[in-house]
Structure 1
Amino acid sequence: MGLIGSLFALAFGGGRNAIRETAEIFRKNAENAGERDLDRMAAALEQHAAEFRDRRSAFDIVMDGVNRLPRPMLALGTIGLFVSAMMEPVWFADRMQGLALVPEPLWWLMGAVVSFYFGARHQAKGQQFQREIAAALARRPVLLRDETPGLVVAEAGAEPNAALDDWRRSHAA
């Protein structure tokens, strides 16, 4: 019994399981891999959700809706002019004669106002999109190579990783 006990102590002694540890060199532990995959998926979903949270006030949302009205109104108004020309040609002709009397500098002014309105809105929306992209990238930790070949660690500003810290302490000696 002493020989068998010594063999078991050699294989399973000291609170370790040498057979399992040896097998894990060649095949990963499925339970631990499942836990890591679950953690990775939860972190990815949380990051995805954080990128699409709406941080605007109710006033901003309402004003954004109001600012979206001029383009559809211009398009529908133009179509309405064609419909009115077909249905009420005399009424339409009277209105067009009135427009013909508008001086040319006033047309230039109206063109400039409309152009600046749509140009400024386009620029503001483009800058807002760039700010959102920059904020999303700032929330994502940057990965860097450590001194250990093949090891990837998060930047200093990222959340601490207890398992990685334990591994570093155990391999520091």
Structure 2
Amino acid sequence: MGLISALPGLGAAARGVGQAVGGVAEVFTINRTKQAAADHAEQIAALDQFGAEFAQSKRTWFDSIIDGVNRLPRPGMALATMGLFAYAMQDPLGFSLRMQGLALVPEPLWWLMGAVVSFYFGARELHHVRTRAAPAGQDVARVMATVEALENTQAKRDDAQEQVESNPVIAQWQARNG
């Protein structure tokens, strides 16, 4: 040990070689820590931008009314469908007459109605997907710590397996009992 410390500049040279090898290795493989930090920073920047775009200074009574009206179509359509079943049971002849009237609706009008309903619910779903809460910074850090712990556990298990395989006494015992 005294011999190594006696050689001047050996520690600095070894450190420089190690950094050079690490730099070369990063050319061929991605540094996962740096990549995760960059992804996290990008996600936080996107969330901040979305937050700035959709931040409302104050809601007016008109905004509240429009939000309420926008919530009516889905329950209205569900209740209307249930109402059709009740109407069919109460007045079968009237129901049949109205269904015959629907059979006379031209096909392009059905396509138009289908498009309107599809775009309404598609836009609504897209809105919910876009506003769904993304993992916060703490969640990302927690997930990264869990992944790191799992990788360490895997590495320890691999090391233990290598030790077992390289131990002739254990191999002999396994051959006898296995």
TM class, shorter-length: 0.3 to 0.5
Please identify which structure carries the higher helix content.
2
Normalising by the residue count of structure 1, what TM-score does the alignment of the two structures yield? Answer: 0.42
Normalising by the residue count of structure 2, what TM-score does the alignment of the two structures yield? Answer: 0.41
Bigger RCO of structures 1 and 2 (CA < 8 A, at least 6 apart): 2
